[in-house]
Amino acid sequence: MCTLHYSVNSHRKIVHLSHCKVLRHIPKESRRSFESLEEAKAHGYRLCRCCPSIAQKYRKERNQVKCFCRDHGFTFMLLNDVIHVISRHDCWRIITCGNNKRLFLYHKNTAKCIRDEKMPGIIPGYHSQNCRSGTILGYLKYINYHDRYRDKHPCTESKAPARNKACPASKKTAKKNGKENIAAVSQKNKPGKGTKRYRKQQARKKREKRLAAIIRVHALLDELAVIGY
């Protein structure tokens, strides 16, 4: 939720974000606030044009963002000056922050990503990503790359295979034909159809797909609860 402020001494019915430069000229004793932009609009108020809202950035990329989300199956919503994105695997938030109002991407915490509850960050339940982009479309491309990586690497916590001790001569041969050896090992480790190992692998993939679908449904329910449906 974002807090929007307005002046009781003004009849223009304009609300300002907390970091708006116009807000500093309004005395604190004359300020009142709304909990959301929807609440302000319900009372006939509109957002200040000087507020560096993320909606202004979105309007510049609206057509590109809509096409990208449609092509990649993303759920995209602009709510309370925060962009909500739901991909195949995860939930994301895009916000503006700082004096220069740069865009920042936040990723929803999961069971594998335990965060300190005493330091929830700007968005509770979400952690900031290290990637930086000056456009919304750039972050959407990163989210799509993240989903493709999750598709190829569903089990990120698996242990690395133990290294076999080899004599110096065999090490030199492996270094010379590294790519061929890696391909041969991966082909050798691939389970054959009909084997017990193959059936376990297929069952694990089905469980992961089912879990991803459940996560997506819960995320949609959370978004609908935020909107108020």
Q: Could you tell me the residue ranges of all domains in the chain?
A: 4-47, 54-153, 178-229
pTM of the model: 0.51
Taking the chain, what is the end-to-end CA distance rounded to the nearest angstrom?
16
Question: Exposed, middle or buried, 19 (CB in 10 Å: 0-12/13-18/19+)?
Answer: middle
Instruction: Over range 98-115, report the average pLDDT.
Output: 72
> What percent of the chain lies above the pLDDT cut of 70?
68
Question: How many degrees, rounded to 5, is the angle at CA 76 between CA 75 and CA 78?
Answer: 150
Is residue 68's pLDDT more than 90?
yes
Cβ contact 1:36 at 8 Å: yes
Question: How many degrees, rounded to 5, is the angle at CA 192 between CA 187 and CA 193?
Answer: 140
Q: Using the Cα atoms of residue 36, residue 45, residue 62 and residue 72 in order, give the sign of their dihedral.
A: positive
Cβ contact 136:61 at 8 Å: yes
